Structure 1
């Protein structure tokens, strides 16, 4: 085992090497980000009590956002004016490490004790490989103490392995299986989709993106635990929500809380009257859509969610029966989210609109049932399991098992067996299927 004083240097080298293997020379963008944000942190900390501190903070934020805009949005901006330029390669994970860098700078301005004097420790925070590619977005304040001094333990390592393997299984055994159906549905000409295939495709995609993204988050959290880091949760059963507002408290928690703390509240939040609150909310969801990608689809997806947030703010379900209201509010949430996912998944806006039309309009002329080619006993079983696991049923069962004497006595044997079975199934799946990257890798 490495001495404690060498662990951060080792992890920094591993993280940068990990990034360089995938992105080659674009690792220089990452290194440049570390250097710029370290220097900015020094200046912000030194001049915090003068106007210069705010100037350096604003300049550093602009440099971070400018880099993100250049790599992620230049092609999209030029396309709007029919200018053709050479395609700019998007560095993987740039949206995540840019937001982490900005959160560090803002927190240093607000809380002097968070200033990091050691450039290697700051570099480790920005480049830490477990969550580098697709989150969760980790606040510096949440892991500052663990970067400086952390304690590894056998129990924490075991819990990390369990979490990592669970996330891997979510991706390989559930998300990838559902992807075969969802991708087939969305690759078909939208005009040919029968109503049943349109619904099958979006239901599968709704579950696919949840298990794909939450699976990566689980793997990141698990890897973090293996190295002594305790990352915060990124998902909390979002599909059981009763409103869009609740959904965003449960879905991609690190992103929604980032926008709340670094955009919504600084803009005034809900403190400046109803009209300003609505403008702030719609602005935040517009930015949320833009953050996800340089496409009108993502802009519409963000505004779609923002519009329903405003509707929920200004009205209530006109139903007094609590049980009926609970059921209908969940149905409403799922319908809104699934229609939103059409914009998220479709290649362009026109395809999305035609697809949505086929979700609500039956026509006997549409008879392309090719997606059924991927529907078999395995995919049906996975679909059923995905629906069940996307609810807290598993958590409830585990709580009950923890009070069961037999399970407690044999827990030391059951969990390794569970991990072993999942790893065997995942290995078989990796050997039998082609490469299928995580959805959020492109953000």
Structure 2
């Protein structure tokens, strides 16, 4: 709807494609001034991202700090700008580093940036990954079949798991955080934990499937992150293309692990500050990024070896830590966030209203099957079974059922938007 109301966003999108295409040509053909062109390109791309995503946040905080009343316009965020900005920047940086040859056909470059399966929510695809496929793709019935199967799995994750279990998180919001019991509070944040995983993982599978149908190999974005024993491992398995982008274009250029310990800590700090800010223009995302930074540093220097050695302890640790960190991600209002934490951890006294200590039983009775399915499909067991029987008639019939069940749910209005559309 934002694009329909603001068609200028289409012009901006086309302008960014043209500009980065030209910058790539300039970097490749005028190497002496290559660094200057690179800096111009980076500044251009991040200027638009900062303008659309962070202007309101910056001016609101200026008003609070200086006690001013500057007018703050509600700027509509162009959908997918966080993702295609990173792809544009990775392209010009790789051309500068000679890891990729500048594209000479603007249609090919435009196809790379505007590839619709992953344009609005990733995975983040580097140009070198698909450069050859832009010119010469291999199509076959087998690839189409595999793509349709992968797409259907992603559709099922989104509609039949994420949307359904996300209903509990919505209900808790409607009830009000002050009026829920501690047990229901934990059920709610675990429900959100499953929702955000199957929502985003589902989208990624759908993007990979559609890409395969069209002859593109879009990279894997998730590797069963909820099976991790440390937060560091978790973020090597979650949104893998984003983590890879920050590692290659921020962490390593800052020195990576090749510098003294204090600078390694600094490098991690910068990466996680940027990761938090990238996810949203709100202080809760900044705090979320800093909490993850603190946990990863704690694991790196203190408890990581212990958690990796004693896997059961690691899994119990992550069972507690993952939902608590997602809570920082899920609730942007600090007052409401504080109330929810007080319900999760009742040692913090807070005034409550009409709390029914048995309220969790009602919702567990409704949603238990989604919690069970979420737990099973968060592991690698279904994937291992699928790989063994993916060519069987049983899988074909099962995926047809999943597809039409998903269509039916969407027809019934169970078609919540993808959570990562807002980024």
Normalising by structure 2, we get a TM-score of: 0.92
1:336 aligned to 2:317? no
User: Cα RMSD between the aligned structures?
Assistant: 2.4
- Secondary structure of the 2:303 match is coil
Distance in 2, Cα, partners of 1:321 & 1:314: 13
**Cα shift readout 1:12-63 (whole Å, capped 9, x = no counterpart):** xxxxxx9966964311121011011011111111222x2x210110111011
Equivalence for 2:346: 361
Question: What residue in structure 2 maps to residue 442 of structure 1?
Answer: 422
Q: Could you say what secondary structure the match of 2:265 adopts?
A: helix
Q: Deviation of residue 387 (structure 1)?
A: 0.8
> C-alpha separation between the residues in 1 aligned to 2:17 and 2:7?
17
Out of 359, 380, 387, the position equivalent to 1:392 is: 380
- Indicate yes or no: 2:12 matched with 1:29: yes
In 2, the alpha carbon distance for the partners of 1:320 and 1:160 equals 37
Q: Indicate the residue corresponding to 2:67 in structure 1.
A: none
Pick the aligned partner of 1:195 from 165, 169, 182: 182
Give 5+ residue unaligned stretches, structure 2.
64-69
The one of 139, 148, 161 equivalent to 2:126 is 139
- The 1-side partners of 2:340 and 2:307 are apart by 35
Once the two structures are superposed, the pairs formed by residues 18-417 of structure 1 within 5 Å of their partners are 24-48=7-31, 50=32, 52-82=33-63, 83-111=70-98, 113-316=100-303, 322=309, 325-361=310-346, 365=352, 367-368=354-355, 375=363, 379-398=367-386, 402=388, 411-417=391-397
CA distance in 2, matches of 1:93, 1:236: 23
The answer as to whether partners of 1:116 and 1:122 remain within 8 angstroms in 2 is yes
TM-score, normalised relative to structure 1? 0.88
**Number of residues of Structure 1 aligned to a counterpart in Structure 2:** 414
Q: Distance in 2 between matches of 1:220 and 1:328?
A: 35
The partner residue of 1:433 within 394, 413, 417 is 413
Deviations 1:229-252 (A, max 9, x none): 011100000001011110011000
Contact 2:90/2:126 (<8 A) preserved = yes
Distance 2:177 2:29 in 1: 58
In 2, Cα distance between the equivalents of 1:238 and 1:232? 16
SS in 1 for 2:226: helix
Q: What are the Cα deviations for residues 258-313 of structure 1, in whole angstroms up to 9, with x where unaligned?
A: 00000000011121200000011011001000000100011111111111111111
Shift of 1:177: 0.7
**Aligned counterparts of 1:356 and 1:423: Cα–Cα separation in 2:** 38
